[in-house]
């Protein structure tokens, strides 16, 4: 019994120390384009349909089919398989994940 309480405390504390999710940036300009969180209530998440980075109407959103970062035809879009400047995924330390192994 005396081992259960410290274990539960450790589990509860570890949940508050989680790292931030990776985020997107424009490779050329470095413009922040939101984080890759599945949390629809996070104001910076690309999964928030009402937020700046998740709304289908926001110019900064990858979910806007008519915007720079969401159009099938834009050279800066995640939805264009032939784009030469799609947004890059960066980890919590600011490193482009393409160069991680």
Split into its structural domains, the chain has a count of: 1
Q: Is residue 32 part of a domain?
A: yes
> Is residue 11 situated within a structural domain?
no
Q: At CB < 8 A and 24+ separation, what contacts does 34-38 make?
A: 34/60, 34/61, 34/62, 36/89
The strand pairing partners of 23, in sequence order, are 35, 90
- Domain assignment present for residue 95? The answer is yes
- What pLDDT digit, counting tens, does each position of 31-85 carry? 999 999 999 999 999 999 999 999 999 999 999 999 999 999 999 999 999 999 9
What is the value of pTM for the model shown? Answer: 0.74
81 found inside a domain: yes
- Which residue, 61, 57, 59, is CA-closest to 35? 61
Class of residue 17 by CB neighbours under 10 A (exposed 0-12, middle 13-18, buried 19+): exposed
Stretch 77-94: mean pLDDT, rounded? 90
Query: Is 2 among the domain residues?
Result: no
Let me know how many helices (H) and strands (E) the chain has, helices first: 1, 3
Query: How far is 59 from 2, CA to CA, in rounded Å?
Result: 55
């Amino acid at each position: 019994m005396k081992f259960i309480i410290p274990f539960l405390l450790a589990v509860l504390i570890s949940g508050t120390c989680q790292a931030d999710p990776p985020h997107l940036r424009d490779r050329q300009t470095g413009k922040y384009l939101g984080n890759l969180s599945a949390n629809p209530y996070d104001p910076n998440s690309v999964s928030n349909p009402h937020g700046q980075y998740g709304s289908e109407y926001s110019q900064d959103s990858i979910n806007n089919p008519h915007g720079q970062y969401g159009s099938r035809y834009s050279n800066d879009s995640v939805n264009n398989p032939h784009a030469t400047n799609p947004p890059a995924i960066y980890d919590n330390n600011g490193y482009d994940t393409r160069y991680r192994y």
